[in-house]
Chain A
Amino acid sequence: MLPPVFGVLFDGLAYGMLLFLLSVGQSVTLGMMNFINLAHCSFAMLGGYVTVVLMSSYGWPFFATLPCAFIAAALVSVGFERAFFRRLYRASDLDQVLLTIGIVFISVAVAAYIFGTEQRPLQLPAYLRSSLTFMGVRFAVYRLILIGLALLITLALVLGLDYTRFGARVRAAVDNERMARGLGIDVDRTFAITFALGSGLAGLGGALAIEIIGLDPSFALTYLVYVLIVVSVGGLGSISGSFAAAIVLGISDVAGKYYIPQLGAFLIYLVMIGLLMWRPLGLIGRR
């Protein structure tokens, strides 16, 4: 028999991975492209609604809806990127904030109009809701899947952005746009693709998260704070930073709530403040 601390560690890890999946898109748009995209959770919400509607109205299996959630959020974001965001890459942070918060407001109203204001629960098959018992500790299947997917996505992104030509182009375009253009890099296209990738990941994260955190039109605002916490603690420009931050935050939150429930509400903020005062650029920050 394993002592309960293993169960707590596992739940913390799983909660951290949930936060990571919800935030990883933001660490692409904010972290890589330096664009303050407060509409991140709007794209996550879109992914969530795509999954729920495909499952409840068209009877699709859960896993088949996930690519659609990614693609839908990516496509919609490209539309927005071409129409609005593109003009603001060089604008002040504050204008970016104003634009994207405006889009959040619009998305909340549109979601309420189309999908209604009520909670839209996922109805997952029983095997995804079961748990395995290993040496006296219960491991929920769905949480195991979250952890696995988070690892896969991290691996793919780190490899794809750090070690490929595309990744190099993105970094070049962000660091010095004129120079990058001079070198023949299609900056517009690079940004559009990166933005689509970030938003697609948001959509996927949303689709995966709603089983645990629910889905209604206020989703676009409710979880924004968590996303910002993960990305800032992780450090801009670093996917593995977000990954590490999510693990630290998830485990400290769950362990804190378990061992010192009086501190439960404060813990995630205290940990964030402590980490940022220690490392203002984030755990693995580059800028």
Chain B
Amino acid sequence: MALTEGTANPRLYLQAQTRWRPIEIAFWLATLLPYALFPDYLSLASQIAIAGLFALSLDLILGYAGIVSLGHAAFFGIGAYTAGLVSKYGWGEPLTGLAIAAVAAGLIGYATSFVICRFRHLALIMLTLGFGLLLEELANSAGWLTGGVDGLQGIHTWKLFGYLPFDLYGRTAYAYALAVLFVLFVFARRLIHSPFGLSLRGIRENFVRMPAIGAPSRAHIRTIYTIAAAMAGIAGALLAQTTETVSLESLGFERSAEVVVMLVLGGAGRLYGGLVGVIVYMVARDQFSGIEPQYWYFWIGVLLVGVVTFLPNGILGGAAKLMSRRSRS
């Protein structure tokens, strides 16, 4: 690694970090494999890509800024409902729908970030949880707008670029979700390896000291929280558009908790952790629940306990530790 020269010059360090490593290129090439190897699993793959984007957005605040949120699905849901409503009231063009959803989620994220940046630890977790639950109740009682428990009806997504219809096999859905995920991943990667990203990690490690060296902790947290909210909104909008359904569970507590579990499973603060966690969790869930529709929870539980016991700091964290141990010996 280029760590030694990097520590001498932070700019060089960041530059070294931004270089694409071969394993990363291989990872992204492998995301195309489902088209060749598992054409029957493209719908699942598209929902994995969407959950991956959602986990990535959470990683920006949880892994890099230390904000543990149990209400992140609020932004996912706002994005989903926005995209759904835009489509229901006559504008089903997917890409502009994504943009509108991102703006809506980002605005709400920006508004709440003023509260978020003032709190830490358990109070912060519980405030995010409380905001999420409040929003869920609001969406339920605003049945005239959201369709309540039954979900929003009448969503119709137009063809992508006016050309590609969203088919039953999920071919378009996966390509669309994957492309959006990749673009936003590249954006997140640049962001994390910028001086801004570095100071975020500083805030995570020591909230009080960072302002002393000239990094305004609260302003930085507001910025990253807004970005993460907008990204989560895009993920929600993708799900709404590709499935043409939106319901209360899109902003519910369970989705918030599940994405935390998936991110931590993969390894927080590692960019790829969310993606790996989502892939492992959702594929395992799909397979276990196919075999044992009633008791698959058991095997997922065993998976989680096993990972914590043998691979602390998630799959990628544990793997990195094993690798470094091997290279040392």
Residues of A in contact with B (beta carbons under 8 Å apart): 84, 87-88, 91-95, 97-99, 101-110, 112-113, 117, 225, 228-229, 232-233, 236, 265-266, 269-270, 272-273, 276-277, 280-282
How many Å lie between the Cα of A109 and that of B307 in the bound state? 19
Which residues of B have CB within 8 Å of A87? 309
Q: Please, how many angstroms separate the alpha-carbon atoms of A58 and B305 in the complex?
A: 34
A218 to B304, CA, bound (A): 19
**Cross-chain contact A232 with B126 (CB below 8 angstroms):** yes
Given the complex, which residues of B lie within 8 Å of A272, measured CB to CB? Answer: 126, 130
Contact B308 A98 (CB under 8 A): yes
Known: A95-B313, A112-B295, A265-B141. A101 touches B304 (CB 8 A): yes
B298 touches A106 (CB 8 A): yes
Chain A residues contacting B265 (CB-CB under 8 Å) are 98
Q: Mark B134-154, 1 if CB is under 8 A from A, else 0.
A: 100110110000000000000
Contacts of B295 in A (CB 8 A): 109, 112-113
Contacting A109 at CB < 8 Å: which of B125, B127, B298, B303? B298
Does B246 reach chain A (CB closer than 8 Å)? no
Q: Could you say which residues of chain A place their CB within 8 Å of the CB of B312?
A: 91-92, 95
Residues of A near B308 (CB, < 8 A) are 84, 88, 91, 95, 98-99, 102
Contact residues in B for A273 (Cβ distance below 8 Å): 127, 130-131, 134
Among candidates A84, A266, A282, residue contacting B305 with C-beta atoms closer than 8 Å: A84
Q: Which residues from 194 to 221 on chain B have a C-beta closer than 8 Å to any C-beta of chain A?
A: none
Which residues from B are CB-within-8-Å of A105? 297-298, 300-301, 304
- B84-121: CB near A (< 8 Å → 1, else 0) gives 00000000000000000000000000000001000111
The listed residue with most B CB atoms (<10 A of its CB), out of A84, A105, A107, is A105
Contacts of A92 in B (CB 8 A): 312-313
Given A228-B129, A269-B134, also A99-B305 (CB < 8 A): yes
Q: Is the interface of B mostly helix, strand, loop or mixed?
A: helix
Shortest A240–chain B CB gap in Å is 18
- Given A92-B313, A272-B130: A280 and B297 interface contact (C-beta under 8 Å): no
Q: A106-B297, A269-B137 are in contact. Are A236 and B122 (CB under 8 A)?
A: yes
What's the least CB distance linking A245 to chain B, in Å?
Answer: 11
For the complex, what is the distance from the CA of A65 to the CA of B305, rounded to whole Å? 31
| B294 adjacent to chain A (CB < 8 Å) | yes
Give A117 to B294 CA distance when docked, in angstroms.
Answer: 10
Selecting from B73-81, B237-245, B253-261, the interface stretch reads: B253-261
Separation of A232 and B253 alpha carbons in the complex (Å): 17
Q: What are 6 A-to-B residue pairs whose CB atoms are below 8 Å?
A: A99-B309, A101-B304, A107-B301, A109-B301, A269-B137, A280-B123
Given A95-B313, A97-B264, A102 and B133 contact (CB-CB distance below 8 Å): no
In whole angstroms, what is the CA distance A97 to B260 when docked? 9
Instruction: Confirm or deny: B302 has a beta carbon within 8 angstroms of a beta carbon on chain A.
Output: yes
**Shortest Cβ gap from A54 to chain B (Å):** 25
- The reply to whether A109 and B304 contact each other, CB–CB distance below 8 Å, is no
Please, how many angstroms separate the alpha-carbon atoms of A92 and B137 in the complex? Answer: 32
